[in-house]
């Protein structure tokens, strides 16, 4: 039997691990350096002062196509479709609170502006796959310019916001094809007007990678976590993988195939080392662009403050010139901004998922569990210091307070992952997703999952795949699995 080592239990790592283990023709060992499974899609429990349990997600709070998309496909392929129950974002549908205007994702809507926006979604749904593919290597901004011109600033802004949440990037960068394909599929199979309004797995997002990992152990695979699961080096000889060194004692584990779910830059530059690759390949890896960095605040509150399941929130901008500036900024594709001058703002755009409205068991009775994510960079990787981390926490809180003024009086527990914490614990310099799905890095232009070293593969939101967040990583696993079936085990 081939010995397969997987580095990392994120959706990509646990997904490919489950697919291989379920096939039962290889010996799978998965290493995870954290004490929880799932990476950015993991969940963990925190206890409040009364000893009550709250389930918090590391990052991901909503899944676009739930059981009907690639996350569900993996579950189905490993025979665990029924192990995960889903709450779709319905009753109420996703809403957008946009500078004080409440916009609900309903198909029939009264206001003119919004019905125009829905019509754009309808138009996208009617586009053929070939028409959409033509946009793969153009930016969303270019698509908006052609479809909406410069007169629909608000509509452009709202779509840009949605796309930013889905793909963690700016409209000037995001591949229009990624957005169009995802929005079309989501609208068709989830019957939503929003590509991010999918749903939530009961029990928390971590249920998905945990179920994948369960499949690995049920099929005699091995999972090594925590300090012992920290892979320090991938050993290469004669351009072929030999195994890994892991844990404090740098114990050697032999492997015929190594699949890295650790980020692609760390894998190449640190775990393997530059000297094992050509100069061109090292340059290519170094030049790959990340998506936006993020931070995430989770709050447990002692009352039910909202009935919503999914809110995209843009706080009001008070000064008139601020509003004009913001709109002009988006309309011009954010090109005029000097990124080195950006300070931590007082308030910011948030994706808010009150997860206990999906699954009431995630908060004590009568309480609410609210998760938020906000971007902390805009097109350039930022090195935020510790003081800035605290400012970002305040920024998230201020934004929530501007939506619910008495919120602060009701907080009983909270947790905050700054960009620095995300980077230190889960890599990728603290970006939300991974290697950006920009027009020059999407679809055929994504990094290949097959490395130049024999037996070394990448499987994550950094290589291969397409789609939104977790689904990009799940697609990466499905694509690699297809490759293995056709090439490795033929």
Ligand X SMILES: Cc1cc2nc3c(=O)[nH]c(=O)nc-3n(C[C@H](O)[C@H](O)[C@H](O)COP(=O)(O)OP(=O)(O)OC[C@H]3O[C@@H](n4cnc5c(N)ncnc54)[C@H](O)[C@@H]3O)c2cc1C
Nearer to ligand X, 308 or 470 (CB): 470
Closest CA to 213 of 415, 419, 32, 341: 32
Q: How far apart are CA 122 and CA 33, in angstroms?
A: 44
Nearer to ligand X, 207 or 433 (CB): 433
Q: How far apart are CA 347 and CA 337, in angstroms?
A: 18
Residue 50 Cβ, how far from ligand X at the closest point, in Å?
27
Token pair of 429 as six digits: 């310099």
SS (H, E, C) 367-423: CEEEEEEEECCCCCCCCCCHHHHHHHHHHHHHHHHHHCCCHHHHEEEEEEECHHHHH
Angle separating helix axes 11-23 and 207-218, nearest 10 degrees:
30
Contacts of 375 (CB under 8 A, 6+ apart): 164, 168, 292, 293, 294, 348, 349, 432
Residue 474 Cβ, how far from ligand X at the closest point, in Å?
8
Q: How far apart are CA 410 and CA 422, in angstroms?
A: 27
Residue 162 Cβ, how far from ligand X at the closest point, in Å?
12
Nearer to ligand X, 333 or 465 (CB): 465
Nearer to ligand X, 7 or 330 (CB): 7
Residue 328 Cβ, how far from ligand X at the closest point, in Å?
29
Nearer to ligand X, 166 or 331 (CB): 166
Nearer to ligand X, 155 or 175 (CB): 175
Q: How far apart are CA 354 and CA 47, in angstroms?
A: 18
Residue 104 Cβ, how far from ligand X at the closest point, in Å?
19
Nearer to ligand X, 34 or 139 (CB): 34
Token pair of 55 as six digits: 């389930």
- Judged by DSSP in three states, 460 sits in strand
Residue 468 Cβ, how far from ligand X at the closest point, in Å?
5
Residue 322 Cβ, how far from ligand X at the closest point, in Å?
26
Q: What is the CA radius of gyration of the chain?
A: 22
User: How crowded is the C-beta side of 155, counted as CA atoms within 13 Å?
Assistant: 20
Residue 168 Cβ, how far from ligand X at the closest point, in Å?
7
Residue 375 Cβ, how far from ligand X at the closest point, in Å?
10
CA distances from 380 to 201, 266, 431 (A): 32, 18, 11
Q: Which residues bind ligand X (CB under 6 A)?
A: 7-13, 31-34, 39-41, 59-63, 229-231, 261-262, 294, 296, 373, 422, 426-428, 432-434, 460-461, 468-473
- Judged by DSSP in three states, 314 sits in strand
Token pair of 372 as six digits: 């938020």
Nearer to ligand X, 291 or 300 (CB): 291
Nearer to ligand X, 41 or 187 (CB): 41
Which pairing describes strands 86-88 and 199-201: parallel, antiparallel, or unpaired? antiparallel
């Amino acid at each position: 039997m081939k010995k397969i080592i997987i580095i990392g239990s994120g959706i990509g790592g646990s997904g490919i691990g489950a697919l291989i283990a379920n096939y039962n023709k290889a010996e799978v060992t998965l290493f995870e350096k954290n004490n929880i499974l799932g990476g950015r899609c993991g969940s963990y429990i925190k206890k409040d002062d009364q000893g009550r349990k709250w389930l918090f997600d590391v990052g991901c709070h909503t899944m676009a196509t739930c059981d009907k998309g690639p996350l569900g496909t993996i579950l189905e392929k490993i025979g665990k479709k029924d192990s995960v129950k889903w709450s779709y974002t319905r009753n109420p549908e996703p809403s957008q609170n946009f500078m004080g205007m409440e916009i609900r994702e309903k198909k029939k809507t009264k206001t003119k502006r919004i019905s125009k926006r829905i019509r754009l979604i309808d138009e996208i749904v009617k586009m053929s796959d070939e028409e959409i593919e033509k946009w793969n290597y153009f930016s969303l901004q270019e698509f908006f310019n052609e479809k909406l011109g410069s007169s629909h600033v608000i509509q452009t802004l709202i779509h840009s916001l949605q796309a930013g949440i889905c793909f963690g990037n700016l409209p000037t960068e995001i591949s229009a094809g990624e957005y169009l394909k995802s929005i079309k599929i989501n609208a068709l199979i989830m019957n939503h007007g929003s590509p991010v309004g999918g749903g939530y797995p009961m029990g928390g997002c971590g249920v998905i990678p945990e179920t994948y990992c369960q499949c690995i152990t049920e099929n005699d695979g091995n999972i090594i976590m925590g300090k012992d699961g920290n892979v320090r080096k991938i050993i290469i000889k004669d351009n072929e993988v030999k195994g890994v060194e892991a844990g404090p004692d740098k114990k050697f584990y032999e492997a015929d195939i190594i699949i890295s779910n650790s980020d692609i830059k760390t894998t190449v530059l640190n775990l393997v080392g530059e000297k094992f690759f050509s100069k061109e390949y090292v340059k290519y890896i170094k030049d790959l662009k990340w998506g936006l960095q993020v931070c995430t605040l989770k709050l447990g509150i002692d009352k039910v403050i909202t009935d919503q399941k999914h809110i995209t929130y843009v706080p009001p901008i008070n000064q008139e010139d601020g509003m004009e500036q913001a709109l002009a900024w988006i309309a011009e594709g954010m090109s005029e901004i000097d990124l080195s001058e950006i300070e931590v703002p007082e308030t910011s755009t948030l994706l808010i998922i009150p997860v206990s409205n999906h699954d009431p068991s995630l908060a004590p009775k009568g309480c609410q569990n609210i998760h938020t994510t906000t971007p902390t960079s805009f097109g350039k990787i930022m090195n935020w210091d510790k003081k800035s981390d605290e400012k970002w926490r305040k920024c998230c809180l201020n934004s929530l307070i501007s939506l619910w003024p008495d919120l602060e009086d009701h907080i009983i527990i909270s947790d905050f992952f700054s960009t620095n914490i995300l980077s230190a614990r889960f890599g990728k310099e603290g970006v939300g997703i991974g290697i950006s799905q920009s027009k020059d890095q999407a679809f055929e232009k994504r990094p290949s999952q097959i490395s130049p070293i024999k037996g070394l593969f990448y499987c994550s939101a950094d290589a291969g795949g397409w789609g939104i967040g977790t689904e990009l990583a799940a697609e990466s696993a499905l694509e690699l699995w297809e490759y293995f079936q056709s090439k490795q085990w033929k």
